[in-house]
Every structure is written in C-alpha cells, then in structure tokens.
Amino acid sequence: MASVTYDGATRIFPGADRPAVNKLDLEIADGEFLVLVGPSGCGKSTSLRMLAGLEEVSEGRIRIGERDITDLPPKDRDIAMVFQNYALYPHMTVAENMGFALKMAGVGKEERSTRVREAAALLDLEQYLDRKPKALSGGQRQRVAMGRAIVRQPQVFCMDEPLSNLDAKLRVSTRTQIAALQQRLGITTVYVTHDQVEAMTMGDRVAVLKDGELQQVDTPLALYDRPTNLFVAGFIGSPAMNLLAARAAEGMADIGGYRVPIDREAASRMTGAITVGVRPENWRLVSESEGGLPVKVTVVEELGADGYVYGTCDVEGTPGTVVIRTDTRGAVSKGDTVYVTTDPEHVHVFDTESGTRLSA
C-alpha cells in the first residue's frame, strides 16, 4: 500500500518541440483510484508509462510512498500493469501467464499456484487456467490481464485503457467489476482512459490532461460542477456543455442581444469577451414572452429516463447545436421552436481569451 507522487515529472521525446508531459504535479493517496483522462496525444499514457518505468523521466521525480523510483528499472518498482491489448504471452497458459512474474521473482511453485488460484477465483477464471490466451474471448483475456496484475500483489496498479477492446455492453459491466475489485483490494490505482464517462464513473478523483499539461484534478462531481477552464467544461459531461460566446454588459452576459443573468462573483470579474456555459439539464423551457433564446428543434432523442432536444439557434454567439435535456416526453417535436432560459446559479462563465473560470 502506498501513495504515488508526481513531482514536476516531465517527458520530452527526442526530436519533439514540446514536452509530451510537462511538469506534472500530482498526489495520489494510498488506495485511491485515480483516472487520467484527456483526448489522444494529451500525455496521459506517457504519464502512466513513466510511473511504470517504460518511459524515461526527463525532469522531475516520481515517488511511490517514500521511495524515489524515478531511476529504478520497472521490475523494482513494485507495480503491475494492465495493457490495452492485454499483452498476454501467447505461448503460455492462463495459469502460466498469471504466475510468470512470481516465477521470475523466484517464488516457490506451491505458493505460486495458490496465489494464481486465488486470483483466478476472484476473477471467475478457474476453469480456464489450462487454456492458452488464443482460446479465450476478449472479456476473458481482459480478466487474465487483470489477474496477472493482481497475483503480484503490487503497491500500485497501472491500467492503460484496459476496456477499449471490449464491446460496449461488456465495457459497462467490466467497468463496475474493476471499480469494485479495486475497492476490495485497496491497491492504489492509476487508470488511463480517453472516455470521460469511464473516468467519471470509475475514479475517486479524475485528472484531466491536455497537451501534456494537467488541467484539473478533482472528484468527478466537482469536475462536473466547477470546471476550472473552458477545456474541462467542454470535455467533461455527455452530452457536452453548451458554450455560448457573449460579452460582459452591466453585470449580465449579452448573447447577441439576449441578456443572461450571471452570478455576482462572475459579474464582478468579467470584462469584454466571455464564454457562457450551460449544461443541457440546466435549460428551462419558457414561453416566448418570457424572452428565452429561440431554438429550432432538429432532433429529439427520447431515451426513456430522459430526453435530449438538439436544435439550432440563429442568435449570434450560440454554438452550431444547442443541446437541452427535457422531460417533456413527446411534447416537443422536430421543427418546433422552443424558448429556453437558465438561472444565474447554473451559468458557468469563462474568460474567452484565457479560458479560465470566472464564476464562483
């Protein structure tokens, strides 16, 4: 059991003009499940591979607990990794795959087989122990890869998009299984994904990266409620937040002539060009006379529990598609025009140029 600390960790690939990971500072508590998320090329995998020892650290330090592991070879770091393509050894059986690290560490045959059996029981893999990976389904292979990590009883789990090769349904069920397993084992876990839904549902905390820079790290809800900048606001949440270009005008946001009320703290700080963010569920449908933004409905998605209305708005500054979550259940249909407004406490205000959050 141990915490993980990135202390200004930087990775510059030879020949690259900017660092793949730039001065990453991150503290991961003992037993925590931390998710690194971001678009491709944001440095999330590189950050993980630096921790695993598969990528050199150009500057800064990485510590596990009190141990500085920056310059240790992978095998001495006491970590286990689950790869995106599982990286199972094709010439070994499931049991051999899972016990290989122990064998290399000189653990006796008997203890090895006990630990493999325990892990197999945990993952429901007992009847496959004698099979080769080739004879397993994708989901089973994924579990073997998990088992290989668990058997080692490491201080830290590194997981590099372990669900991306599963089909959508299996991904959802495996997601919960992994989260529950991690909870049970209590092993510090760093998990990389590009899927923000996965990040939100699995992580104790989520770290959002972009272009090698850490944008924000917080609990899923805090990320959702108070995104620190425009990038995080647009990245977290599905469907994404509506971002509207506006100008600061007398304590209100002026969106192409429509005035939107803003909370007092943001109002006191904003000047010039600002961006107003509204989550789909924070729109209120109002009548035309109440002065809402007119939205021409193009698509209505009824998912049962909730529905989404997609539409266009001719008002200057609005995005190409406005998304509104409703519970109208069929009251709105394609071609209608609806009028929407929102409340000050639900409006996220950002400075357009710097992208930083102005609201409280």
Partner 1 sequence: MSTGEKFLQLLIVIGLFLAVMAVVLVLTSRVRSRVGEILQTTAFLLPAVLLLALGLLYPAIRTVIESFRDRTSSEWVGLANYEAIFTDDALLQVLRNTAIWVLVTPVLATVIGLVYAVLVDRARFERFAKALMFMPMAISLVGASLIWRFVYSYRETDAAQIGVLNQLLKSLGFETYRFISTEPWNTLFLVVVMIWVQAGFAMTILSAAIKAVPDDIVEAARLDGVSGWRMFRYITVPSIRPSLIVVLTTITIATLKVFDIVRTMTGGNFGTSVLAYEFYAQGFRAFNNGLGAALAVLLFVLVIPIVIYNVRQMRKVEAR
Q: Find the Cα–Cα–Cα–Cα dihedral 347, 352, 354, 357, rounded to 10°.
A: 0
Q: Say whether residue 308 binds partner 1 (CB under 8 A).
A: no
The answer to whether 341 and 293 have CB atoms below 8 angstroms apart is yes
Residues with Cβ within 8 Å of 195's Cβ and at least 6 positions away in sequence, in order, are 37, 164
The Cα 127–Cα 360 span in angstroms is: 55
* Nearer to partner 1 (CB atom), residue 53 or residue 60: 53
* Nearer to partner 1 (CB atom), residue 79 or residue 223: 79
- Give the x/- contact pattern for partner 1 in 176-215, rule: CB under 8 A: ----------------------------------------
Greatest distance between any 2 Cα atoms in the chain: 79
* DSSP letters for 246-263: EEEETTEEEETTEEEE--
Residue corresponding to tokens 């109208």: 328
Phi, psi at 184, each rounded to 5°: -70, -40
Interface residue with partner 1 among 28, 52, 159, 217 (CB under 8 A) is 52
Minimal distance in Å, beta carbon 91 to partner 1?
A: 4
Minimal distance in Å, beta carbon 154 to partner 1?
A: 9
The Cα 260–Cα 264 span in angstroms is: 12
Minimal distance in Å, beta carbon 198 to partner 1?
A: 20
* Nearer to partner 1 (CB atom), residue 104 or residue 305: 104
CA atoms within 13 A on the CB side of 352: 14
Span interacting with partner 1, options 99-107, 162-170, 201-209, 233-241, rule CB under 8 A:
99-107
* Contacts (CB under 8 A) with partner 1, residues 72-91: 73-75, 79-81, 83-85, 87-91
The answer to whether 325 and 280 have CB atoms below 8 angstroms apart is yes
Interface residue with partner 1 among 12, 54, 185, 315 (CB under 8 A) is 54
Span interacting with partner 1, options 71-79, 206-214, 288-296, 302-310, rule CB under 8 A:
71-79
* Nearer to partner 1 (CB atom), residue 92 or residue 249: 92
Span interacting with partner 1, options 101-109, 194-202, 207-215, 253-261, rule CB under 8 A:
101-109
Residue corresponding to tokens 């996965």: 198
Minimal distance in Å, beta carbon 103 to partner 1?
A: 9
**Identity of the amino acid at 123:** L
The Cα 209–Cα 280 span in angstroms is: 24
Give the number of residues in contact with partner 1, rule: CB under 8 A. Answer: 23
Q: Find the Cα–Cα–Cα–Cα dihedral 163, 169, 207, 19, rounded to 10°.
A: 40
| 310 CB burial (10 A radius; 0-12, 13-18, 19+) | middle
Interface residue with partner 1 among 19, 53, 220, 280 (CB under 8 A) is 53
* Nearer to partner 1 (CB atom), residue 53 or residue 203: 53
Any alpha helices (H) in the chain, and if so which ranges? Answer: 44-52, 94-104, 109-123, 138-151, 168-185, 196-202, 220-225, 230-235, 264-269
DSSP for residue 240? P
Q: Please state the separation of Cα 8 from the chain's center in Å.
A: 21
* Nearer to partner 1 (CB atom), residue 88 or residue 241: 88
Cα-Cα-Cα-Cα dihedral sign, residues 264, 268, 269, 275: positive
Span interacting with partner 1, options 26-34, 67-75, 210-218, 327-335, rule CB under 8 A:
67-75
* Contacts (CB under 8 A) with partner 1, residues 4-43: none
* Nearer to partner 1 (CB atom), residue 69 or residue 208: 69
Interface residues toward partner 1, by CB under 8 A: 52-54, 73-75, 79-81, 83-85, 87-92, 100-101, 104-105, 148
